[in-house]
Amino acid sequence: MSGGGNDVALRSGAVARAVIYAVLIVFAVYYLLPLFVMLVNSVKPLEEIRSGNMLALPEVFTFAPWVQAWSKAQIGVEPTGLSPYFVNSLVMVIPAVALSTFLGALNGYVLTKWQFRGHRIVFGLMLFSCFIPFQIVLIPMARILGMLGIAGTTWGLVLVHVVYGLGFTTLFFRNYYDAFPSELIRAATIDGAGFFRIFRRILLPSSGPIIVVTVIWQFTNVWNDFLFGASFADFDSQPMTVALNNLVSSSTGVKEYNVHFAGAILAALPTLVVYVVSGRYFVRGLMAGAVKG
């Protein structure tokens, strides 16, 4: 992705280039517009949104909507704001990402460097699990979580996200380790290192980039999940996305657009920060997830 452009570009005149830049800028505006709308209107008083222009900069600048969204808005029974749900999401995301990444690394290692009869079928079955419509597992999952006694808990959501993240994490590590020279494994075998030692001493120290990609991918997916959160969480374990949706679509009272926008930005902030800080790895993850096999 980061490589320079083709040596051969369209040989085009100044007019053509101006058109190209114009089109690109128009699209940049299209992509930035919703973010701009959210930002600008999250610092306006409600009255100014209702009577004013959504695309205009604020005349009166206020942080009140942010405070409201974070710690005061009525979402559940109590007017707590989004903050407890933000914490719920964090508490759910961290173990889910760590576990699924760890298991994916081990799976990828086995599926490339210790292949056995049928390894392709095992991988194929795991890979297909990335694509299933989750509606197909909702009913039995609700029952199993109940049977395990973790229905409605954060741990229940962690389990769900680990299971349905395994396909992707395994895919990432498998593709990465596939390109890892097998001669290194042979050399280490002759040197006397066993299964775990080869993993810990030879592969893991070289896995930095793919760990970053996997963690970002999993973090984004788990943080942004709505379906599982809406299906399996109780009031006290609801993740951020569910809380935001409740805030925005609650039909009672006045629609506080400015609070909704502030809440939406709060919900988007962690993944946006990850994207800004490590966009390169984020894109690599997207590509790895799109180009299978």
HSE value, Cβ hemisphere, 13 Å, CA-based, for 265: 20
List binders of another protein among 56-95 (CB under 8 A).
Answer: none
Q: Which is nearer to another protein, 61 or 116 (CB)?
A: 116
Please provide the size of the chain in residues. Answer: 293
Q: Which is nearer to another protein, 80 or 271 (CB)?
A: 271
Rounded to a whole number of angstroms, the minimum distance from the CB of residue 154 to another protein is: 18
List binders of another protein among 123-162 (CB under 8 A).
Answer: 123-129, 131-141, 143-144, 162
Considering only CA atoms, which of 158, 207, 179, 171 is closest in space to residue 286? 171
Rounded to a whole number of angstroms, the minimum distance from the CB of residue 127 to another protein is: 6
Q: Does 200 bind another protein (CB under 8 A)?
A: no
Report the residue from 54, 57, 87, 277 that binds another protein according to the rule CB under 8 A.
54
Rounded to a whole number of angstroms, the minimum distance from the CB of residue 111 to another protein is: 7
- How far, in Å, CA of 208 to CA of 165, rounded? 19
Rounded to a whole number of angstroms, the minimum distance from the CB of residue 216 to another protein is: 9
Residue type (1 letter), 27: F
Give the distance from CA 101 to its chain's centroid: 13
Give the distance from CA 178 to its chain's centroid: 25
List binders of another protein among 261-290 (CB under 8 A).
Answer: 261, 263-265, 267-268, 271-272, 274-276, 279, 282-283, 286-287, 289-290
230 Cβ neighbours under 8 A, 6+ residues apart: 242, 245
Considering only CA atoms, which of 108, 224, 111 is closest in space to residue 168? 108
Question: What track of x and - describes contact with another protein for positions 160 through 199 (by CB under 8 A)?
Answer: --xxx-xx--x----------xxxxxxxxxxxxxxxxx--
DSSP secondary structure string for all residues of 242-289: HHHHHHHH--SS---HHHHHHHHHHHHHHHHHHHHHTHHHHHHHHHHH
Rounded to a whole number of angstroms, the minimum distance from the CB of residue 277 to another protein is: 11
List binders of another protein among 236-255 (CB under 8 A).
Answer: 241, 244-245, 248-249
43 token code pair:
């610092």
List binders of another protein among 13-42 (CB under 8 A).
Answer: 17, 20-21, 23-24, 27-28, 30-35, 37-38, 41
Q: How many C-beta atoms surround the C-beta of residue 144 within 10 A?
A: 15
Report the residue from 66, 168, 173, 223 that binds another protein according to the rule CB under 8 A.
223
